[in-house]
Amino acid sequence: MKEIAQIRKLSLWIFIIPLLGINLCLFITVNHHLLENTIFTVDQIGRSNFTFPYFDGGLSISRASRTFPAYLVFKPSMILTSILVYFYWSKNNKIFNTFNSTSGINYKFRTFGIISAICLAIHAVLLGVEIDIKIFKLFRRVVLLSFIIFEIAAQGLLVHSFYKLKDKIKDLFNPNILMCKILLVSILIVVALVSLPIVVTKGNIHFKHALEWNYFVGVILFYLFTRLLWKKI
């Protein structure tokens, strides 16, 4: 099926592009001296001493990505990722219509997945835009939170749909990878619920930053598993 081949390609790029994007922004931030006296001189607020935020939470993704020239990497990579995410969920919707011998059904995972893609694109566009209005700052937080909620909801619904069809399409996918996807989504949900009281309170900045980096990698790891899930047709 051509949709399977397309989903495998899409999922790999959805994993690679944002992973490279955020880590290149991190590299620029902690190695700002390499760009000194060039047209890409790093803004003062975007500079940082050496840190590995996955462990020490030295800075947030937004801090590493919102200033020049890092946003030249972050914004295009996230907008491109959001476009690919849109097609990913649409292709999955189409393939499940095929598996279920239905036509034109819009599964909830497609709706939630597309909403998450839109939220990611909006977040990328607004990052670094400084408007000192409370409602604007609140809107940006809501958009980012909506991306996470709808993305995890879409992932959970997709693996649930997969699990119900696993016997029917057992020759097309690797069941071990499906279990990895179920485990990953379960961990993401548990981590979100357990860490919520800490995230919504003041303080614990380093913990919040480390959580942000690792959680984002966990979210896109789902797409790498998709690449490994389907057998090559």
Res. 233 pLDDT band, cuts 50 70 90 = low
The pLDDT score that the predictor gives to residue 33 is 92
State the pLDDT at residue 130. Answer: 78
pTM for this structure?
0.94
Under 8 Å CB-to-CB from 183, ≥6 apart: which residues? none
Question: End-to-end alpha-carbon separation of the chain, Å?
Answer: 7
Q: What is the pLDDT of residue 231?
A: 84
pLDDT beyond 80 at 218: yes
For the segment 110-122, the average pLDDT, to the nearest whole number, is: 97
pLDDT value at position 100?
87
Is the confidence at residue 77, as pLDDT, over 80? Answer: yes
pLDDT (average), residues 202-229: 95
Structure tokens at 60: 């947030």
- What average pLDDT does the segment 85-97 reach? 96
Exposure string for 166-184, b = 16+ CB within 10 A, e = fewer: eeeeeebbeeebbebbbeb
pLDDT, averaged across the chain: 93
Query: Which residues, 6+ apart, have CB-to-CB distance to 168 below 8 Å?
Result: 99
Query: For 148-152, what is the mean pLDDT?
Result: 96
Confidence of residue 136 (pLDDT cuts 50, 70, 90): confident
The fraction of the chain above a pLDDT of 70, given in percent, is 99
Confidence of residue 170 (pLDDT cuts 50, 70, 90): confident
pLDDT on residue 168: 87
Confidence at 147, pLDDT banded by 50, 70, 90: very high
Task: Say which residues have a Cβ less than 8 Å from residue 25's Cβ, sequence separation at least 6.
Answer: 61, 64, 65, 70, 73, 74
Q: What is the pLDDT of residue 135?
A: 87
Distance CA 225, CA 210 (A): 23
Q: How much is the pLDDT for 167?
A: 86
- Mean pLDDT, residues 121-139 taken together: 87
Confidence of residue 30 (pLDDT cuts 50, 70, 90): very high
